[in-house]
Amino acid sequence: MPHCSPAGPTMPSQFVYSDQDFVTDLRQSSGNSRGMASKPAKFDTTIKTGWTDRMDRGLFRYDLGDLQTRILPGPHRYVAQLNIQRGTQRRKPQEILSIQQEFNAKQFNFNKVNPEEIICEMVKDSEGGNGSCRMIVLVNVSPLEFGHCLFVPDPSHCLPQILTMFIIQVGIESVLLSSDPGFRVGFNSLGAFASVNHLHMHGYYLDHELKIESAPVKPLVPGQGFYRLLDFPGGFLFYTESESVEKVSRAICKVTDRLVASNIAHNLFMTRGCPPCDRIQNEEDCLSRKGVRIAVWPRLSTFGAKEESAFNVALCELAGHLPFKNKQDFEQATEKDVIDITQRYLLPDAEFQTLEKQLTGHLMDS
């Protein structure tokens, strides 16, 4: 495993947590307001305070401000936001030629960030825990929403942008640590609009309900939390509650490892959500947000493809959150426009069905 210079000489403050810190009493209000636990979790206080401090100190490429937002009419309830500055002022994406591209220390990586951008180091306090696994949380200096941060496993290990079980598990645990149902975590593989080939996930707050939180699913291997999304951009869904995080993280990693081996680009999105339909017993379950839904979208690669003028199709767009690059598209786009753009990046139906059979068999045999 290659090693690089650490990100700056100073050690970040530690955020120490355990399974006892998971918030399991969240629910979605039956009205328009979002459900919240009785008090902010210490995870949210750490992220929000640290992020706001860095914004106040001018460490970002632009001042995010209050983003203009509208809900597109239609059953998908897409959340559209106008974020022109992210489209024009973010760092130029690296040239990516392969989903399995090796890490290149000469290109930008997270060992080169300003150490002041680091919010904390996440450390799990657990018996049998791997003390060598460090998770650095730093601000994304080109934010798409409030609290937009990056989760980077020990940057000095110089891992390429390929999911590991460790980062998947910490991503799920981060959602469980938050008492805000609007906290989301996601991943773009190489070829799926990842702009930096250094392993990382995105985390941010979006104070709007997304349909993916309650979208219907078809059970595939429910014993491992594996389902297919219905009535949504074609993809797969995992579901876990706090007691099954490690088991489901392992299953997700088996799926994404298979996608990488098959050179299939993919996006992943984690959010609080209600249990899959085969586990819902009553109306209260429909409002529950004690578990985490993890969507995985296999997709066509975008190597050398011209970017869309309205929005790129990556982790948040597939989940129903649309950061628009220009005012005209933001004001005029319809749900049909969004679906038409999104479909251009998804696998053809026949290819998706073949992949579903392969992945289902792979998980059933493991």
pLDDT digit string, tens, across residues 254-307: 999 999 999 999 999 999 999 998 777 777 778 889 999 999 999 999 887 667
pLDDT tens across 328-365, in order? 999 999 999 999 999 999 999 999 999 999 999 999 98
DSSP notation for 170-211: HHHHHHHH-S-TTEEEEEE-TTTT---SS--EEEEE--S--G
Residue at 123 is within a domain: no
Q: Please give the model's pTM, rounded to 2 decimal places.
A: 0.93
Residue 251's pLDDT is 98
- Report d(CA 112, CA 107) in Å as an integer: 10
327: which 2 tokens? 């005012």
295: which 2 tokens? 């969507």
Q: Single out the residue of 174, 216, 247, 214 nearest to residue 27, CA to CA.
A: 214
Range of the domain at 189: 67-107+162-365
Count CA atoms within 13 Å of residue 222 on its CB side.
8
Residue at 33 is within a domain: no
Residue at 36 is within a domain: no
| Average pLDDT taken over every residue of the chain | 90
Q: Among all chains, which residue has been given the structure tokens 């934010």?
A: 143
With residue 321 as reference, give the H or E element that holds it. strand 321-324
Residue 87's pLDDT is 65
- Report d(CA 253, CA 286) in Å as an integer: 27
Residue at 88 is within a domain: yes
Residue 32's pLDDT is 40
Beta bridge partners of 237: 227, 295
Active-site choice (148, 157, 200, 266): 200
Average pLDDT over residues 65-84: 94
Residue at 93 is within a domain: yes
Residue at 127 is within a domain: no
Strand-pair category, 149-153 with 265-273: unpaired
Instruction: Give catalytic status of residue 200 as yes or no.
Output: yes
Count CA atoms within 13 Å of residue 105 on its CB side.
12
Return the percentage of the chain with pLDDT > 70, whole number. 90
Beta bridge partners of 227: 219, 237
Return the percentage of the chain with pLDDT > 90, whole number. 77
Residue at 47 is within a domain: no
Q: How many domains does the chain have?
A: 1
pLDDT tens across 230-248, in order? 987 889 999 999 999 999 9
Residues with Cβ < 8 Å from 65, sequence gap 6 or more? none
Residue 331's pLDDT is 95
Amino acid at 142: S
Residue at 324 is within a domain: yes
Residue 317's pLDDT is 97
